[in-house]
Chain A
Amino acid sequence: MIRGTVHIETEICKGCELCIAACPQDSLALSSNINRKGYRYVELVQDNCTGCVNCALVCPDSAITVFRQSKSAVRKIVSASV
């Protein structure tokens, strides 16, 4: 499985939860903390993100940046397992 991760700009997140619904891996959840605007923000709660980008696509506030394993890193893993 390709590994990915997200960076969430917690200060602009409004906690609408649309990303949580869009995540096929259930990697995201609302934090129990609140940001300066008073919203409970979203955070990555599981280490199973695949970097599929769905969360960022539905985020109305462009709060999510998505990363995925680089091709060279993937190649390294593949060659190691051969």
Chain B
Amino acid sequence: MNTITIPDEMELVYSKPETITDTPLHYCPGCTHGVIHRVLMEVVNEMGIAEQTVGVAPVGCSVFAYNYMNIDMQEAAHGRASAVATGIRRVLPEKYVFSYQGDGDLAAIGTAETIHSVNRGENILIVFVNNGIYGMTGGQMAPTTLLGMVTSTTPFGREQSAMGYPIKMTDLVAQLPGAYYVTRQAAYTAATVRKLKKAIEKAFQFQTRKKGTCFIEVVSNCPSGWKMTPIEANDWLEKNMLPMYPLGDLKVPKE
């Protein structure tokens, strides 16, 4: 990393945490994966738990998350990140373990692992990045794709009669008794990023209580898959994704 000199009479108020590596991110311009990675690692850094944290990367755009997070990590098979995280946490019960998964990974191929990990109340944090599309494979329909939304496999828009409905995994998961803290956040404005960070902080703190699974959905964008500029994508997210996936807590533990 280039050394940055602090200007005269100034102090540093924000820089990327040392838990983020200097490897340039492979994500498309404006993709919120980078923001979510950084916020996660900021929390790990500020809580001083980098030595006690093990992360699990999924299959999808964030398959290379381990290149950017400067902690011990495992890369899971498609959809199985929460099972892998379960294996890690069960044999290292005092560590902080999180999985980082996209909507295709968590809500399609990995639905069973997701539901059962949460239902067992695994003491892990599941970060669910929902942008309603398969980004890595080129913008195909995801289980969370909105009705009418155009993707490369729904060229005329997602039709309910043929493709069913967008699945609200976070709402489903919140019903399970093993879920301890369930919230839906976003990362497309400074205010939503600040709230997301608070949610992640809580989730890591809750892990030490060993009371169940913490589940954070982050409603995200995909400028390339949605075929928009990053700014257009964030506007579209606010107008279209948020009415279907409203932000806020779905399950909060009684303190």
A and B touch in the complex (CB under 8 A): yes
A→B interface (CB under 8 Å) = 3-5, 7, 9, 12, 14-18, 21-22, 39, 51-54, 56-62, 64-73
Residues of chain B lying within 8 A (CB to CB) of residue A7: 4
B137 within 8 A of A: no
Contact: B189 with A22, CB < 8 Å?
yes
Q: Is the C-beta of B34 less than 8 angstroms from some C-beta in chain A? A: yes
Residues of A within 8 A of B189 (CB): 22, 58
Contacting A at CB under 8 A, from B1-56, are 2, 4, 6-7, 9-16, 20, 24-25, 27-35, 38
A75: shortest Cβ distance to chain B, in Å?
Answer: 11
Q: Is the CB of A65 within 8 A of B35?
A: no
Apart from A18-B231, A60-B31, 19 more pairs, CB < 8 Å:
A12-B25, A14-B30, A16-B29, A16-B223, A16-B230, A18-B30, A22-B189, A39-B29, A52-B190, A53-B13, A57-B193, A58-B190, A58-B193, A59-B35, A60-B29, A61-B25, A62-B34, A67-B7, A70-B11
When A and B form their complex, which 5 residue pairs have the shortest distance between CB atoms, in order from nearest?
Answer: A60-B34, A16-B30, A14-B29, A62-B16, A73-B9
Any chain A CB within 8 A of the CB of B188? Answer: yes
The A/B interface has a contact count, at CB < 8 Å, of 98
The answer to whether B231 touches A17 (Cβ under 8 A) is yes
For the complex, what is the distance from the CA of A18 to the CA of B228, rounded to whole Å?
Answer: 13
Give the number of chain B interface residues (Cβ < 8 Å): 36
A82 CA / B72 CA spacing, docked (Å): 54
- Are A17 and B229 within 8 A (Cβ)? yes
Q: What are 10 A-B interface contacts by the 8 Å CB criterion?
A: A14-B29, A16-B223, A18-B30, A52-B190, A53-B13, A57-B190, A59-B34, A62-B34, A65-B4, A68-B10
Chain B hits for A64, CB < 8 A: 14
Query: CA–CA, A58 to B39, complex, Å?
Result: 10
B234 at the interface (CB under 8 A from A): yes
Q: What is the bound-complex CA distance between A12 and B13, given in angstroms?
A: 20
Interface of A is mostly: mixed
Interface contact B38-A62, CB-CB below 8 Å: yes
- Asked if A60 and B11 make an inter-chain contact with CB atoms under 8 angstroms apart, the answer reads no
Q: Binary interface profile of B, 218-239, with partner A (CB < 8 Å = 1, else 0)?
A: 0000010000011100100000
- The CA of A29 and the CA of B19, in the complex, are separated in Å by 29
Query: Of B14, B29, B188, which is within 8 A of A65 by CB?
Result: B14
Q: State whether the Cβ of B194 lies closer than 8 Å to any Cβ in chain A.
A: yes
A60 with B13: CB separation less than 8 A: no
Q: How far apart are B89's CB and chain A's nearest CB, in angstroms?
A: 28
Contact B13 A57 (CB under 8 A): no
